[in-house]
Structure 1
Amino acid sequence: MRISKEEIMDAAKKLEPRLIAFRRDLHENPELSLEETETAAKVAAFLRSIGLSPKLEVGGHGVIADVVGSTPGPTIALRADMDALPIMEETGLPFASNRPGIMHACGHDAHTAIVLGAASILVERKERLAGTVRLLFQGAEEINAGAKAMIRDGALDGVDEIYGLHNLPTLAVGMAATRKGPLMGSVDRIELTLEGRGAHGAIPDQGADPIVAAAAVISGLQTIVSREVSPFSPVVVTIGSIHAGQANNVIPHRAEMTGTVRAFDPAVRRQLPDRLRRIAVRIAEAHRCEAELRYIEQVPVLVSEDGCLAHAQRTIDWLLGAERHAEAAPTLAGEDFSVYLESVPGCFFWLGSGPSDRAEDAYGLHHPKFDIQEEALAVGSAALASIALLRGQSNHSLLL
């Protein structure tokens, strides 16, 4: 029996009230990375309610479940992230976070509801599903730890391909965006310690000031972007924290900084640790200080596999219409979905979640006033369910 896009969208729309209620519950009760116990329990309860047998505590608080089709075929994974951010919510919504300083400001509550919606659609159509769909509900995405932990606990065992999405409030609801080649940047962390010599603030010549050295190092690191890497290979080096001293009239002996490094080319990324270290150490030496730079790799560049990308694009065009399918702009924001793509082929795409008339003016990801258009839940559920249903069929033979 063939599948029509009207059937899938109708099924998703029927689920919409339940998905909205589930998303709002998560939004009101957010949990930070590595603390997603309540969220995981709610996900597991939903999965049981539709006849699945979830496995909990995968990669920490992750949850997995399989929807087994009626005929042989590939094992396709669909992934959602579940964690919130340490942000004070300012939306004023009636279901705003009741936990001060914690907020679903990136829409992971919506992603979780979307994959649950896709699961519901698939369970109702198991007789037309070829192969298995592995549902992955992952924690700790915001700290770039969840995907690695899920893989270590076997979440990808037997998986042939993986698909995922992220809402985008600056893209109108009802739209999706894909990109061939790099979509999102690598994410690495740097920790830099400068050791100088403390002194009285009135007698600076008797010390070696690590604060002055730190200021010079921060400026010097930007020359990597402007003078050491091709302008056609985007790189960002950002120092996000600096801590030194306690008194206004004392030169401290130590300054500590942390930062993030982003790149769009794996080859360029591999060159960055040595370049950062050279600049930091030599500038520090010029200021009579010593520098130690620790470079911590977190997640790689996110690149969808060509075959999986083509399948997702065909499915989006079929479901939403080619006019609702845009080419995604590249971004140096990161996503640990890229870690899964190092192990199995797959595709990641943007799902529109902004106002249809002024999406470009919406509050962006990680903003205290971030919100989504909840119609995106049904659209996302339909898209992921369609990708899984149609992947097992050669040439989309189930389509009407």
Structure 2
Amino acid sequence: MLKLEELKKLYEEEVVEFRRDLHMYPELSFKEYRTTEKIKEKLVSLGIEIMDLGMETGVVGLLKGKEEGPTIALRGDIDALPIQELNDVPYKSKIDGVMHACGHDFHASSVIGAAIILSDIKNELNGNVMFVFQPAEEINKGAKVMVEKGLFTDYKADLIFGLHNNPEIPWGKIAIKKGGLMAAVDTIRIKVKGKGGHGAIPNATRDPIIAASAMLMNLQTIVSRNVSPLDSAVISIGTFNSGTANNVISELVEMSGTVRSFDPQVRQMLPKRIKEVLEYTAKAYMVDVELEYIFDLPAVFNDDELTKLAYDATKEIVGEEGIVDPIPSMGGEDFSIFTEKVPGFFFWLGVGNKEKDMNYVWHNPRFDGDDRAVITASAVMSNMVLHGIKYANENKNEVR
């Protein structure tokens, strides 16, 4: 991998500069207009064909190798968050109230770096590379829209690789995990309807606030008593809204929450038990309840063969000492929408640097990472492409 190591050093400054530019001009989901143009401009300068999905934001580029063969996709998301940045750095966000607090600037720049490297060696590629710059990951919609627009049906790929930064892992390290890495994400919306009245005469009411409070507590027993201690699940109520005055018992409570899991059987069990707990609690408190259960995203799951491929490709770039075995996260990622269409692998890029105070978690207004890690990710993804082309050629009847 001497060639990739040389290219990594050659293009590091350019890729870091690209990342810092994106960081200074963050854009919210489906509003990534400047980011989209910046990416297109770079891809076109590399001779990479832009594939039109008919979307206002997001980019898909295709690099053709020396001969026809498998197409390997690399994915980086591009949207930012409605958070005011509190970092004092030269590349601080210039957009008031918006920042790359989840590091999607790292992801997009890592894929740009891979595009630069692979363009340099395109005459050595026995296949093609698709670069997917996805909008609106933060609202769980970007991947779905790209698929609806024909990505991986009209524009096919054989494998896809993606990444997410992790500030809790030292910069330059790569986290490789077999099995579940990021959880399935579901949303619950609950309405509890009772009979309102005067706060001083509660016996004449059917108080939905008391009932909803009991429901909230009872829901927690599902994880502690219906999910095996060897599995993982989370039920968290994030909003609880009711009432207009301190001495009025309301007619209605509205709650919403998130449900997370890894195991498909656990995921199928959860809505059934949630519904049962809500309905029986409602009966006990003489109120009515409605549940809306939304299956948002499946879990990000890495299979055995692609984990080995990714491990081998990564080892050639960072060595065995540069690979860590991470603890999975209950956070979600809509990369899993793509892997319903194309076999894929997802890894974490370490960006943490405690000496520079760069270890704040995702979505924190002080989030940042050591951008020297970006070119490492670019080289690793480039090598995953090389290994992926070979793998797809050897498994032609099994990959698609």
- Which AA in structure 1 matches 2:14? R
Tell me which of 70, 76, 97 is aligned to 1:80.
Answer: 76
Relative to structure 1, the CA distance from residue 34 to residue 334 in structure 2 (aligned partners, 3 Å threshold; closer, same or farther) is same
CA distance in 1, matches of 2:40, 2:297: 28
Contact 1:354–1:362 (Cα < 8 Å) also in 2: yes
User: Which amino acid in structure 2 is aligned with residue 84 of structure 1?
Assistant: A
TM-superposed CA distance for 1:60, in Å, is 5.3
Alignment match of 1:224 (pick from 222, 225, 228)? 222
The equivalent of 1:251 in structure 2 is 249
Using the alignment, how far apart are the partners of 2:254 and 2:93 within structure 1? 33
Q: Structure 1 residues 370, 248: closer, same or farther in 2, change over 3 A?
A: same
Q: Amino acid of the residue matched to residue 55 of structure 1? A: M
1:370 aligns with 2:376: no
Greater Cα shift, 362-371 or 47-56: 47-56
**Structure 1 CA distance, aligned partners of 2:134 and 2:102?**
14
Please say if 1:233 is aligned against 2:226: no
Q: 1:11 aligns with which of 7, 13, 20?
A: 7
What amino acid maps onto 1:223 in structure 2?
Answer: T
**Offset of residue 95 of structure 1:** 2.3
* 8 Å contact kept, 2:107–2:164: yes
Q: What amino acid does structure 1 have at the position aligned with 2:32?
A: E
For residue 121 of structure 1, report the CA deviation from its aligned partner: 0.6
Matches within 5 A, 1:1-400: 4=1, 6-56=2-52, 61-156=57-152, 157-355=155-353, 362-393=359-390
CA contact (8 A) 1:191 1:295 kept: yes
Q: Give, in angstroms, the shift of residue 73 of structure 1.
A: 2.2
Q: Post-superposition shift, 1:79? A: 0.2
Structure 2 portions without partners, runs of 5+: 394-400
**Is the 8 Å Cα contact of residues 304 and 345 (structure 1) preserved in structure 2?**
no
SS at match of 2:68: strand
Post-superposition Cα deviations, 1:196-242, rounded to whole Å, max 9, x if no partner, equal 11212222222222111111111010000011111111110000111
Shift of 1:108: 0.2
Cα pair 1:59 1:146 within 8 Å, conserved: no
Q: So what's the TM-score if we normalise by structure 1?
A: 0.93
The secondary structure found in structure 2 opposite 1:241 is strand
Residues 58, 150 of structure 1: 8 Å contact kept: no
The offset of 1:395, in angstroms, is 12
What amino acid sits opposite 2:376 in the alignment? V
Mapped contact 1:60–1:139 kept (Cα < 8 A): no
Number of equivalences: 392
Instruction: Give the Cα separation in 1 of the matches to 2:392 and 2:339.
Output: 24
Instruction: Return the offset for 1:8.
Output: 1.3
Contact 2:53 2:150 (8 Å CA) reproduced: no
2-structure distance, mates of 1:164, 1:130? 21
State the Cα distance separating 1:59 from its structure 2 match: 5.3
Letter in 2 for 1:64: V
- With over 3 angstroms needed to count, the CA separation of the structure-2 counterparts of 1:246 and 1:93, relative to structure 1, is farther
Structure 2 contact 50–61 (Cα < 8 Å) conserved = yes
Q: Secondary structure at the match of 2:10?
A: helix
Aligned equivalents of 1:63, 1:213: Cα separation in 2: 48
C-alpha contact 1:9 1:379 (8 A) present in aligned 2: no
Normalising by structure 2, we get a TM-score of 0.93
Superposed displacement of residue 96, structure 1 = 1.9
Secondary structure at 2:151's aligned position in 1?
Answer: coil
2:237 and 2:105 map into 1 onto residues whose CA distance is 29
Q: 2:184–2:332: 8 Å Cα contact kept in structure 1?
A: yes
- Aligned CA-pair RMSD: 2.0
2:14 counterpart SS class: helix
- Helix, strand or coil: the match of 2:291? strand
Worse-matched range after superposition: 27-36 or 170-179: 27-36
Q: Secondary structure at the match of 1:393?
A: helix
8 Å CA contact 1:173–1:356 kept in 2: the answer is no
- Cα contact 1:178–1:313 (8 A) shared by 2: yes
CA contact (8 A) 1:309 1:346 kept: no
Contact 1:60-1:149 within 8 A present in 2 as well = no
1:212 maps to amino acid: I
Q: Could you say if the C-alpha distance between residues 63 and 188 of structure 1 is closer, same or farther in structure 2, counting changes exceeding 3 Å? A: same
Q: Does the CA-based 8 Å contact 2:158-2:392 persist in structure 1?
A: no
Cα distance change of structure 1 residues 154 and 395 upon mapping to structure 2, 3 Å threshold: closer
Please state whether the residue corresponding to 1:134 is helix, strand or coil: strand
Unpaired stretches in structure 1, ≥5 consecutive residues: none
